[in-house]
Amino acid sequence: MIIKCIAADDEPPALDIIEYYISQVPCLKLIKKFTDGIGALEYIVKNEADLIFLDIEMGGISGTQLLKSLTRKPNVIMTTAYRNYAVEAFDLSVTDYLLKPFSFERFLQAVEKAYEIIKREKNQPITETRDYFFVKSNYKMVKINFDDILYIEGMSEYVVIKTKTGNIITLLSFKIIEQTLPESRFIRIHKSYMVSLEKIDSIEGQYVKIGNKELPIGNFYKEKFFAAINR
């Protein structure tokens, strides 16, 4: 599922950071950005977006004033340097409240919350229109074809994508990777492993074998995994 985003912040450096963070997450697509609240409001009224990264103190109209003026409120992640707006923001049902300066890891936590909400709201199967995605690895964006992925291993602070040609290490969270890959082709088998169903060579007991690698099947994931391979 691709989440269409807009970002509004009257500080260009802060807007640049949000744009950069968005570019690092395969399931996010920035469709418009604004340096003032009025421009953002006019766009939201006339166009659809799944998620808005919204500053609070902006010229013309504040982020909270903007939300109060909307009859149909979108999913919003507030981005601000001020703590004192948090209660008002959550009263307006925002998804999350990011206090500047926020890290990429904290940004990902907010995106994961938004993803689950948007997925429930859409409440329909997602048709995949592409067979690849990009991740940031070693200071560059690397294209990964779904067909090349053998399995994915989650580490404490990063994930390793095992492909036919080697390993790709990225700081993206395991959950974001899982949300990016099509459910029809990839499945979680363990808290630390996700596999390509097409690349499984055999299953024996509590292990999946892909090439020379044996991967454990966790008890929590066992039922869903066997349902997937038998459908």
**So what's the pLDDT on residue 128?**
52
50 sits in the region (left: phi over 0; alpha: psi -120 to 50; else beta) called alpha
Q: Does residue 17 register a pLDDT over 60?
A: yes
What are the start-end ranges of the E strands in 56-158?
75-80, 96-99, 132-137, 140-145, 149-154
Contact (Cβ atoms closer than 8 angstroms) between residue 218 and residue 212: no
Is the pLDDT confidence value at 146 over 90? yes
What confidence score (pLDDT) does residue 48 get?
A: 86
State how far the Cα of 219 lies from the Cα of 231, in Å rounded to an integer: 19
Mean pLDDT of 96-110: 92
Residue 125 pLDDT > 70: no
Long-range CB contacts for residues 215-218, cutoff 8 Å, separation at least 24 = 215/151, 215/189, 215/190, 216/189, 216/190, 217/189, 217/190, 218/189, 218/190, 218/191
pLDDT-derived band of residue 124, with 50, 70 and 90 as boundaries? low
Structure tokens at 176: 């974001």
| pLDDT tens, residue by residue, 46-97 | 888 899 999 998 878 888 888 888 877 789 999 998 888 888 888 888 999 9
Percent of the chain with pLDDT over 90: 48
Q: What is the mean pLDDT of the chain?
A: 88
50 token code pair: 């799944």
Question: Is residue 127 pLDDT above 80, yes or no?
Answer: no
Taking only the tens place, the pLDDT of each residue in 21-38 is 999 898 899 999 999 888
Is the pLDDT at 112 greater than 60? The verdict is yes
Residue for token digits 């968005």?
22
Q: How many CB atoms lie within 10 A of CB 96?
A: 21
Return the higher-pLDDT residue of 128 and 189.
189
**Predicted pLDDT at 129:** 60
Length of the chain (residues): 231
pLDDT at 172 over 70: yes
The pLDDT, as a whole number, for residue 139 is 79
| ∠ CA 41-43-47, rounded to 5° | 125
**Cis? peptide before 12, omega within 30° of 0:** no
* pLDDT confidence of residue 180: 84
Check: CB of residue 172 under 8 Å from CB of residue 197.
Answer: no
